[in-house]
A and B are shown apart, each in its own frame.
Chain A
Amino acid sequence: MTSDRRVLVVDRTDGALAGVMEELDLLGFRVVWVPSPAAALAFIKTSPTLSLVIVSATAAEDGGDEFLTEVKRNRPDLRVLCGTKPNAPPSLRRGAFPDSLIPEPFRPNALRTAVSALLAEQFYPTAIATAIKSSALEVLGTLGEFRVDAGEFLVPNQTALSDLSAIIAFSGEASGHLMLSMTSEDARSLYLRFVPGARAVPVDRLEDLVGELCNRILGRLSAFFAQHAMSIQQTTPLFIRAAGSTMRYPGRHPSFGVQLTRGDARVSLEYYLADFDRSKLASGATKEVLGLGEILFF
């Protein structure tokens, strides 16, 4: 992946947005601070691959409106997020709008959600995000009516680990990993759909089910990559029993977490793409793959 992961924070006082900068750092961004919109404009002109600009409500008081106009004129692709305060200058609400407005002080969840919405396409193009969700729904759909809840970038202390998790790494012309996680209770419920009438189901077997589902979802994702002329090789699942624990991949891009639900049952899917060829995605699906349940006799 070639996307630049720099974020420019614009605030009068270095340190005022320390919490925001720390949060962005956890998400895998390199954070640069400048004290004013004017300095930000100068920086933007020399940094063509910048991902995002965050402007505090205080900094926006120093010509925020003109700043936004200039940014949108020169770099329409650059995402801008502005903080707001109850007494924010009305100018911010006229003319050039930021891509996102969130109230200050920034709360981590609100910031993460806003950053996810603004930058998801850069890390995980819509075609891939849709393929991953469709793959999960296709496989889990054989066990009941699941639906996808909103997803978000995950920071290390918010990985999707639950009671039982399985992670499968893949490499080749696209690389990364897929992790599936759920509670023991939800795994037991799904297991009974796999093997009706099973009585005492040992935890090893529940864990095995999580791995098998993860494998099947990755199988569909592999088919998606194959359709776009990208071949991947996958490993066998690794299992993690880690309720309340966290995982961390130093130096990684942010992973993305998706929740799938069926009634009270909840399945967490976390995916991480380290590398793939965007140009092949743009060319559209070119190869045929087999569907679930399809049989090819030789």
Chain B
Amino acid sequence: MSWSILVVDDSATARTQLRATFEAKGARVVEAENGREGLWRARSEKVDLIVSDVHMPVMDGLQMIQELRKHPELANTVIFVLTSDATSTRAAEGKKAGANAWIIKPIKPELLWKAVEKALFGRQSGSHAKSTPVADDAVRNVNK
């Protein structure tokens, strides 16, 4: 199956790590280093999934998601927030902005892949799952 992903993160290291993870699963990976570039990339490239950091220069991830959701053609694109910000308040802001999942990094690649499978390929309840961990309680904090 051919699919594509946009990775938005100001850290080149994080982008490289994600690129390696998703290319190994056959994805075409597009990168952006801040929210503004991410916005432009998302509109110019047709991607199935966007994975975005929050704290970035120029435009942060939540602003970018809010802007993206204003465009009808991007209204249903799956967007994951991948961030070190673990506060429930910020996660709620992410939900309000239009994100589909809030993920605390670092995360093991195989767990991230499970989340992608669930969201993109409907292995569980589809891309707009309710507020539960991706697999089961065992998934919580297993990266520790």
Contacts and interface: CB of A to CB of B under 8 A. Distances in A.
Sorting the interface of chain B by its residue count into under 10, 10 to 19, 20 to 34 or 35 or more gives 35 or more
A141 to B, nearest CB: 8
Contacts of A198: 16
Nearest to B132: A297
Nearest to B80: A295
Interface residues of A, number: 38
Interface in B36-73: 55-57
Please report whether the interface of chain B is mostly helix, strand, loop or mixed according to DSSP: loop
A141 B106 CA distance: 11
B55 A294 contact: no
Given A236-B55, A296-B102, A297-B100, 20 more contacts: A142-B106, A194-B17, A195-B20, A212-B13, A212-B14, A215-B11, A219-B85, A223-B86, A231-B89, A236-B57, A287-B87, A289-B88, A292-B143, A293-B105, A293-B108, A293-B142, A296-B101, A297-B101, A297-B115, A297-B133
Given A222-B86, A288-B88, A293-B111, A191 B102 contact: no
Contacts, number: 141
A219 B16 CA distance: 20
Interface in A268-298: 287-298
Contact of B89 (A195, A208, A226, A298): A226
Nearest to B15: A208
A149 B57 CA distance: 34
B113 to A, nearest CB: 12
A138 B103 CA distance: 16
B104 interface: yes
A298 B102 contact: yes
Interface string A198-216: 1000001100110110011
A138 B115 CA distance: 22
9 contacts: A205-B13, A216-B84, A219-B104, A234-B55, A293-B108, A294-B86, A294-B103, A294-B139, A294-B141
